A and B are shown apart, each in its own frame.
Chain A
Amino acid sequence: MLAAQIAAVVIFVVMFVLIVMDKIERHYVTLGCGLLVLVLVFGIIMRDFGAMWHTLALENLTHLNFWWADPNVTHDATHSGIDWATIIFLAGMMVMVEGMAKSGFFRWLCMLLAKWVKYKVVPLFIAFMVMSAVLAMFIDSITVILFLAAITIELAKLLKFNPIPMILAEIFCANLGGSATMCGDPPNIIIGSQLGYSFTDFLLNTGLIAGLSLVVIVMYFYLVNRKTLKEASKVEIDTAGMPSPASAIVNMREFIISVAIFLLAVVLLVTHANTGLSVAAIGAGIAVITLLTAGKGISEIISKVDYKTLLFFVGLFIVVGGLEQTHILELMAQFIQTISGGSLIVMVIIIIWLSAIASAFVDNIPFAATMVPVIKGLAVVGGVTDPTLLKTLAWSLAIGTDIGGCATPIGASANVVGVSVAGRNGYRIGWGKYCKQAAPATVIVLLISTAVIILRYCV
């Protein structure tokens, strides 16, 4: 087992380093490393084809409770290996979002909000922050920022203000909003689907923390940028020439359909604990409806689905499966247990802050995927999993990985996209400018989260 453990750790470390180096596309990295785990660790060293089959987890797809589980019966939803539910759900959401983007939904929403606040800079700043958080609760933060940042720059040129503070605030709020729900951020989907939590579970726990933090963060960004915002507010602008929200709608039929599908997805997600539908079933259903109603645009939508991210997940889950099958993650859990001295408060602090610091610099998705089995191990008391303890650790992990990524420009995908959209338009957001505003905000939210989790679950 020692040789298998060493090989699994080496492959994992190489994968992480290659992802950080960003020289090879990350899906090639995880798939290559995943293949190595299957062949070298499971095949050659362990000669354990059961472990290989278990990690591939293809059998799960054939189980009824993968798609639907009777809400009146308690199920043990924890599993390991490739998390097909996460992958199918992400694919479904990607299809839906492509349909929405194609119809002009996001641009319409941004322009409508700008019109509602009469194009005044301070209300616009606050409204876009809130909208960023709310949209990111249901749609991936990359898409939210892609549209929001582009429209912010467009409005900044028309209204003559510097878009950088607004983009930074929107990025932060997108990450914060994403932490509020199960589908808002990939680490949450992984945590929720692997530990069997519902949309409502997240909303009532991480959602509450995110909501509280959002109020503080809106005030923080306003106070930090008040001078710039006040100066921008003094500029007299003729708003008659502003583009109308209706002009953003590319095709009214597609627009109505995409809004209806989005609302259906929201309803299905909010009620999935009651209906018994799994996130995989919701993702697959939404994708099928989007494609069936797309008409001639079906091939365009399919071609725009980010299959690279989906392949990245497949490889990642195999590599993490290698660590699981060789019991490395159990050793990690034992280590955290030892240094925390069995104290739940210390464990919560370690998980939140360790996840946050790691996520500020490395991809939070592999980190979360690795940590889920670790917290499962930590929650085992006397050979039995303590569900309350597991939930406390799960919320700590979700908040740590989701919020930690806000601190640096490379910490989360939304940050990279926001900085990139600004850069393409000639506005440079370097590490200094980014961290000066986002790092203190990250610390504030992490302090709020630590306090809420300790007071609510540990005292």
Chain B
Amino acid sequence: MSKRFIIAIGREFGSGGKHIGRALAKALGVNLYDRNIVEKVAEELDVDSTHLMEYAKKKKRHFFHKTVKGHTTSFEDHVANMQFDYIRKLGNSDESFVIVGRCAEEILKDCDGVISIFVKGDREYKIGRVMKQFSLDRAQAIEKMDRHDRTRKYYHDRYCKGKWGEIDTYDLCIDATHFGTEGTAEFIEDYIRRRLGE
């Protein structure tokens, strides 16, 4: 594509958002950024990435932390901010890319060519996918799904003004139940191409 673009994808757990992001990156011939951002940050800082990964989406325990003049004892906040700084750096470059999660739609909102998308799914559709993907029974899948969605919402809403999963936060909200992962990726690709005037 001739124009620079950034596709920022938010998603419900089990909706296939990450796979859709991967399919889009492949179809559009650009890089996909998700958890690998933590590895890149660790590489830049010359520290162990597994250590950062552990705190990348951990819930901050307020009672045990304190903030003084913008300095916080919360390592969870530091890891989040390191990722946001890296995302900003990507946003300020000329690179077109697809990014999944990490509050990217808010962090990059002032960059040119940002298209924000939220992928949701019917509850039964998501339960089925989670059971299959992680070899879990129904109860375990529901527990895992709800836990991850709670964490994602907490993480997103903690750092962003826009609310996680609400239509006002994104350019396009789509239910992946009807077209499946591949079909939804194709639908979004078509939307992106139209948005970019191709």
Contacts and interface: CB of A to CB of B under 8 A. Distances in A.
A396 interface: no
A293 interface: no
Interface stretch (A47-55, A413-421, A450-458): A413-421
B82 A424 contact: yes
Given A420-B78, A425-B45, A306 B69 contact: yes
A22 B65 contact: yes
Interface string B31-66: 000000000011001110001100100000011111
Given A157-B46, A428-B51, A428-B55, A423 B75 contact: yes
Contacts of B65: 22, 410
Contacts of B45: 425-426
| Interface residues of A, dominant DSSP | helix
A423 B73 contact: yes
Contacts of A142: 68-69
Interface string B18-34: 00000000000000000
A21 B62 contact: yes
A63 B69 CA distance: 33
B86 to A, nearest CB: 12
A427 interface: yes
Contact of B78 (A21, A409, A424): A424
Contacts of B93: none
Interface string A389-419: 0000000000000000000011001011101
Interface in A2-35: 20-23
A395 to B, nearest CB: 26
A426 B73 contact: no
A420 B71 contact: yes
B73 A410 contact: yes
A419 B73 contact: yes
Interface in A426-459: 426-431
Interface residues of B, number: 25
- Chain A interface size band reads 20 to 34
Nearest to B81: A424
A161 B81 CA distance: 25
Contacts of A306: 69
Contacts of A309: 69
Contacts of A23: 62
B67 A22 contact: yes
A417 B69 contact: yes
B72 interface: yes
Contact of B66 (A22, A426, A429): A22
B42 A426 contact: yes
B82 to A, nearest CB: 7
Nearest to B41: A426
Given A423-B78, A424-B78, A428-B55, A410 B62 contact: no
- Most B C-beta atoms less than 10 A away, residue of A423, A429, A431: A423
A428 B71 CA distance: 14
Contact of B47 (A409, A420, A427, A430): A427
Closest 6 A/B residue pairs (Cβ): A426-B47, A420-B71, A423-B78, A410-B66, A426-B45, A416-B68
Interface of B: 41-42, 45-47, 51-52, 55, 62-69, 71-75, 77-78, 81-82
26 contacts: A21-B63, A22-B65, A22-B67, A142-B68, A306-B69, A309-B69, A410-B65, A413-B68, A416-B67, A416-B72, A420-B68, A420-B72, A420-B73, A423-B73, A423-B75, A424-B81, A426-B47, A426-B51, A426-B78, A426-B82, A427-B47, A428-B51, A428-B75, A428-B78, A430-B75, A431-B64
